[in-house]
């Protein structure tokens, strides 16, 4: 049985746009009302692209494209961003608004590409704030394993939607979800919940017994029809699972998608030799995404760099689970492509500013050097274009380069935690919080405007998740 779609007594786009300083008075209709839609319904909504939108005279635009502006982040002052057909049409001063375009007065605001979350497990919203005195293995034993077994389609839908919307309101526009939930009806529910939020997502499916037919069916029937959905094969690389790892890698190659593995999250996992296993099956390369990779040796860092393996760094999760500190500064020195990941319930909430600040702070704590990699511009790049590069999506998103899809954020720095202006670029990382994110666009469609999610009854989303959690507690 599918969950009931959410009704939408939420604020209208018109009202929200007024809050954002929209010049036009006609209602802005960018796609249909977003609900937990069937994938093909999302396809209809997302294929429209909607009318053009001009973000006018933003005080600071970080394009992430050095060719478009100043410094490594391609910064522009008092610049416009024109979105047309769901894509970035132009960035620069005093752009003309095409006929029918909606104009968002953005003076005093900051505009940048949306955050790319390279590693998450949204369903774990059901165990947020739980098992806080446990390490990874204790977390598996006490929280993850017993709770996952209780999931019903309705509960799963509620938790995934809750966490996905939390990610959207925090500025995440692309998200990779590593999912070890197996039955077809639960997978269908999961994908439906993700698709209904309007996020750009990658469903990384862990097939327990490498079931090629099931995986191909999920990809073809559930994920491929969602215009903003893509697919990966997930695995747990380890000596004892070598034959499964090989089957997963072959499956990924057959489907032309990336292999996505947890690697060396805890020191004890050295005994599993996951990098050696991945090397042995021939998976080391740009089609491999390793999560965590906290305990890499010098030789493994060299191999990762040599083969252009992609990494997801999850500093908040690694701190919470006492997993250790990734050797990010060593990886950065070698030019390894690393993105940032929120990592599900182990980071409890979806705060990309905290994630960026922690990525900087842990390396400084580890080395006692303030000049160590990453610096502010490095983490901002990791959080956007760097994450897109990790996922092989940099030709589509990650910067405000004209022609790319319009995934972007508007940040309002006029807040008690953010003002006054000193160095806004640094303040995005060190001062920013999700509530400073005023607007979020994915593929040119507004998912958040005026500081509120568009066409989402947030109270109802929370209420339904609470009801499902209460039902599971009493089961
Ligand atoms: Zn994970």
Residue 133: give its domain's CATH number: 3.20.20.140
Per-residue pLDDT, 8: 32
CA–centroid distance, 356 to ligand 1, in Å, is 18
CA–centroid distance, 424 to ligand 1, in Å, is 32
Per-residue pLDDT, 236: 95
Considering the domain boundaries, does residue 295 fall inside one? yes
CA–centroid distance, 126 to ligand 1, in Å, is 15
Are residue 177 and residue 95 in the same domain, yes or no? no
CA–centroid distance, 157 to ligand 1, in Å, is 19
pTM flag (> 0.85): yes
Are residue 426 and residue 354 in the same domain, yes or no? no
CA–centroid distance, 410 to ligand 1, in Å, is 29
Per-residue pLDDT, 49: 57
CA–centroid distance, 113 to ligand 1, in Å, is 24
CA–centroid distance, 178 to ligand 1, in Å, is 7
Considering the domain boundaries, does residue 176 fall inside one? yes
CA–centroid distance, 120 to ligand 1, in Å, is 6
CA–centroid distance, 336 to ligand 1, in Å, is 20
Are residue 71 and residue 148 in the same domain, yes or no? no
CA–centroid distance, 125 to ligand 1, in Å, is 13
Considering the domain boundaries, does residue 461 fall inside one? no
Are residue 194 and residue 305 in the same domain, yes or no? yes
Are residue 345 and residue 430 in the same domain, yes or no? no
Characterize 174-202 residue by residue with b for buried, 16 or more Cβ atoms within 10 angstroms of its Cβ, and e for exposed.
bbbbbbebeeeebbbbbbbbbbbbbbbbb
CA–centroid distance, 304 to ligand 1, in Å, is 19
pLDDT along the chain (475 residues), means of 10: 33 35 32 33 42 96 98 98 98 96 97 98 91 90 87 94 97 97 90 97 91 93 97 97 96 97 96 98 98 98 98 96 97 97 86 98 97 98 98 98 98 98 98 98 97 97 96 88
Q: Which of 345, 363, 390 marks a domain boundary?
A: 390
CA–centroid distance, 119 to ligand 1, in Å, is 6
Which residue range(s) make up the domain with 263?
A: 115-390
CA–centroid distance, 176 to ligand 1, in Å, is 10
CA–centroid distance, 343 to ligand 1, in Å, is 5
CA–centroid distance, 311 to ligand 1, in Å, is 12
We report the CATH number of the domain holding residue 31 as: 2.30.40.10
CA–centroid distance, 264 to ligand 1, in Å, is 11
CA–centroid distance, 297 to ligand 1, in Å, is 20
Q: Which of 361, 390, 419 marks a domain boundary?
A: 390
CA–centroid distance, 190 to ligand 1, in Å, is 17
CA–centroid distance, 203 to ligand 1, in Å, is 13
Are residue 407 and residue 288 in the same domain, yes or no? no
Are residue 330 and residue 229 in the same domain, yes or no? yes
Considering the domain boundaries, does residue 408 fall inside one? yes
Are residue 349 and residue 415 in the same domain, yes or no? no
CA–centroid distance, 364 to ligand 1, in Å, is 24
Q: Which of 337, 369, 390 marks a domain boundary?
A: 390
CA–centroid distance, 420 to ligand 1, in Å, is 37
CA–centroid distance, 270 to ligand 1, in Å, is 17
What does the alpha-carbon distance between residue 421 and residue 426 come to, in Å, rounded to a whole number?
10
Per-residue pLDDT, 145: 86
CB atoms within 5 A of ion ligand 1 belong to 343
Are residue 216 and residue 288 in the same domain, yes or no? yes
Considering the domain boundaries, does residue 471 fall inside one? no
CA–centroid distance, 411 to ligand 1, in Å, is 29
Residues 6 or more apart from 385 whose CB is under 8 A from it? 64, 65, 113, 394, 398, 399
Are residue 108 and residue 119 in the same domain, yes or no? no
CA–centroid distance, 294 to ligand 1, in Å, is 12
CA–centroid distance, 292 to ligand 1, in Å, is 8
Q: Please report how many Cα atoms fall inside a 13 Å half-sphere around the Cα of residue 99, on the Cβ side.
A: 0
CA–centroid distance, 435 to ligand 1, in Å, is 26
CA–centroid distance, 210 to ligand 1, in Å, is 19
CA–centroid distance, 213 to ligand 1, in Å, is 25
Structural domains counted in the chain: 2
Q: Tell me the C-alpha to C-alpha distance, in Å, between residue 155 and each of 1, 187, 207, 291.
A: 12, 13, 21, 27
CA–centroid distance, 38 to ligand 1, in Å, is 27
CA–centroid distance, 224 to ligand 1, in Å, is 23
CA–centroid distance, 306 to ligand 1, in Å, is 24
């Amino acid at each position: 049985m599918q969950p009931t779609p959410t009704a939408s007594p939420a604020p209208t786009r018109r009202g929200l746009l007024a809050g954002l300083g929209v010049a036009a008075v006609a209602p802005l209709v960018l796609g249909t009302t977003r609900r937990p839609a069937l994938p093909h319904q999302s396809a209809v909504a997302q294929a429209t692209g909607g009318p053009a939108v001009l973000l006018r005279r933003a005080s600071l635009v970080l394009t992430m494209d050095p060719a478009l502006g100043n410094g490594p982040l391609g910064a522009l002052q008092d610049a416009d961003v024109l979105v047309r057909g769901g894509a970035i049409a132009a960035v620069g001063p005093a752009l003309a608004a095409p006929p029918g375009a909606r104009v968002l007065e953005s003076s005093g605001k900051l505009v940048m590409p949306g955050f790319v979350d390279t590693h998450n497990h949204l369903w774990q919203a059901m165990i947020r704030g739980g098992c806080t005195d446990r390490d990874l293995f204790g977390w598996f034993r006490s929280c993850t394993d017993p709770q996952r077994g209780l999931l019903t389609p309705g509960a799963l839908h509620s938790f995934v939607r809750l966490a996905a919307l939390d990610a959207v309101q925090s500025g995440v526009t692309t998200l990779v979800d590593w999912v070890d939930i197996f039955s077809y009806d639960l997978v269908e529910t999961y994908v439906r919940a993700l698709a209904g939020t309007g996020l750009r997502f990658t469903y990384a499916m862990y097939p327990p017994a490498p079931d090629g037919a099931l995986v191909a069916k999920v990809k073809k029937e559930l994920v491929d029809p969602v215009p903003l959905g893509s697919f990966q094969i997930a695995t747990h690389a380890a000596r004892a699972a070598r034959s499964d790892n090989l089957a997963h890698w072959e499956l990924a190659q057959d489907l032309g998608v990336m292999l996505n593995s947890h690697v060396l999250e805890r020191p004890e996992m050295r005994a599993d030799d996951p990098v050696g296993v991945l090397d042995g099956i021939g998976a080391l390369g740009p089609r491999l995404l390793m999560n965590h990779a906290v305990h890499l040796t010098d030789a493994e860092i060299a191999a990762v760099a040599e083969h252009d393996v992609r990494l997801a760094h999850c500093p908040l999760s690694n701190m919470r689970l006492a997993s250790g500190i990734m050797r990010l500064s060593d990886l950065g020195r070698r030019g390894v492509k690393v993105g940032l990941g929120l990592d599900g319930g182990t980071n409890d909430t979806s705060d990309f500013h905290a994630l960026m600040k922690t990525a900087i702070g842990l390396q400084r704590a580890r080395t006692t050097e303030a000049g160590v990699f990453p610096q502010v511009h490095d983490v901002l790049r990791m959080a956007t274009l760097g994450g897109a590069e990790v996922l092989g999506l940099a030709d589509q998103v990650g910067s405000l380069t004209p022609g790319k899809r319009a995934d972007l954020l508007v940040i309002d720095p006029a807040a008690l935690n953010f003002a006054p202006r000193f160095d806004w670029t640094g303040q995005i990382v060190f001062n920013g919080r999700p509530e400073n994110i005023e607007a979020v666009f994915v593929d040119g469609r507004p998912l958040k405007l005026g500081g509120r999610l568009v066409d989402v009854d947030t109270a109802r989303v929370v209420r339904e998740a609470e009801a499902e959690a209460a039902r599971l507690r009493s089961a």
